[in-house]
Amino acid sequence: MIGVMPVRLDYAPREKGLLVQAVYKILEEEAQRYSFVCRAGCADCCTVNLQATSAEVRLFLQKIEDKKALYQLLEPFRASPRLRPKVTPNEMALLYMSGKEPPAEDDFVFSPCPFLNPEGLCKVYPWRIFGCRSVFSLKPCRESGIAEMPPAFFSLVTVLMQLLEEIDIAGLYGNFLDLLFFFLEFEGQKPEDIVIPEYLLSNREAPDFAIPPDHEEYVRGVLARLYREEVAPGQSFKSLLDKIKEGAKVKEALSFLGEAL
């Protein structure tokens, strides 16, 4: 599946950043409705396995003033084992809709995230990516061994992950650390001179949102609020998203990918 979708790393970074921030905002608003117990220092979910879109990573890097120090922090993790996804969230949804099983993700490791300090606090908390923002639990993870989320909220998280990929159409999806290395090392080069590693996947539109029918009313209500959100003067989330998708001109490639799967 890699290489089928077109990649345009210089396409609409500012507009994509506005949409990403709106997704973060709606998620945080919804999380306030639940009695989650997550507290500062509870960091079992903060591992090297986090995945992200290139739009999120570029937004993250905008907040980092000292890129050299960031690179030095990450360098010891270059060869460390970590989860590298074999499909994107929207490719996974398409596989399920086609009655096919996605490839197994079997390289999860429990190494802590490089951005954790010794007290288990995040050094970049205000700028964290969706993978960090979306993990909540109704019970302490160290007691149950897993994060326990309300099923409907988990469905919302799933849909927002798919939407983030759609926002970053013509962008990339992969492990957070891999994407950081990629952008830090290729910053300043012309897009046509950049070679994309095979472990970074190209994004695609959502074929549909993969959620149970009994969660649809709740998720649709949240999406309706998100789509109406003004992300720029006189421009709603939905209108800007439609503009980005139209400008990317990837319909033909999307159709071809659907047939290939």
- HSE-CB for 131 with a 13 A CA cutoff: 21
Q: Where are the domains of the chain?
A: 13-260
Mean of the pLDDT values across residues 188-192? 73
Stretch 133-157: mean pLDDT: 87
pLDDT in tens, 147-174: 888 999 999 999 999 999 999 999 999 9
d(CA 50, CA 177): 8
CA 229/CA 190 separation, integer angstroms: 34
Check if the beta carbon of residue 85 is closer than 8 Å to that of residue 201.
Answer: yes
Nearest CA to 46 out of 162, 141, 139, 138 is that of: 141
Buried b (16+ CB within 10 A) or exposed e, 22-60: bbbebbeebbeeeebebeeeebbbbbbbbbbbbbbbbbb
Q: Where are the alpha helices (DSSP H) in the chain?
A: 13-31, 54-62, 67-74, 89-97, 130-133, 141-144, 151-167, 176-186, 216-228, 237-248, 251-260
Q: Is the pLDDT of residue 252 over 60?
A: no
Which pLDDT belongs to residue 104? 80
* Stated pTM of the model: 0.90
Q: What percent of the chain has pLDDT over 70?
A: 93
Can you list the pairs that 213-220 forms with residues at least 24 positions away whose Cβ atoms lie under 8 Å?
Answer: 215/151, 215/152, 215/155, 215/156, 218/152, 218/155, 218/156, 219/152, 219/155, 219/156, 219/159
Query: To the nearest whole percent, how much of the chain has pLDDT over 90?
Result: 63
Amino acid at 191: P
Q: What are phi and psi of 121, to 5 degrees?
A: -105, 145
* 113 Cβ neighbours under 8 A, 6+ residues apart: 43, 46, 47, 48, 50, 122
CB 173 within 8 A of CB 52: yes
Hey, what are 125's tokens? 């908390």
Q: What's the pLDDT band for 251 if we cut at 50, 70, 90?
A: low
Q: Which are the contacts of 116, defined by CB distance < 8 A and separation ≥ 6?
A: 43, 46, 122, 123
pLDDT (tens digit, 9 = 90+) per residue, 17-59? 999 999 999 999 999 999 888 888 787 888 899 999 999 999 9
CA gap 239, 183 in Å, rounded: 28
pLDDT digits (tens, 9 = 90+) for 81-116: 999 999 999 999 888 888 888 888 777 788 899 999
Greater confidence (218 vs 120) lies with: 218
- Kindly state the DSSP code that residue 105 receives in the 8-state scheme: -
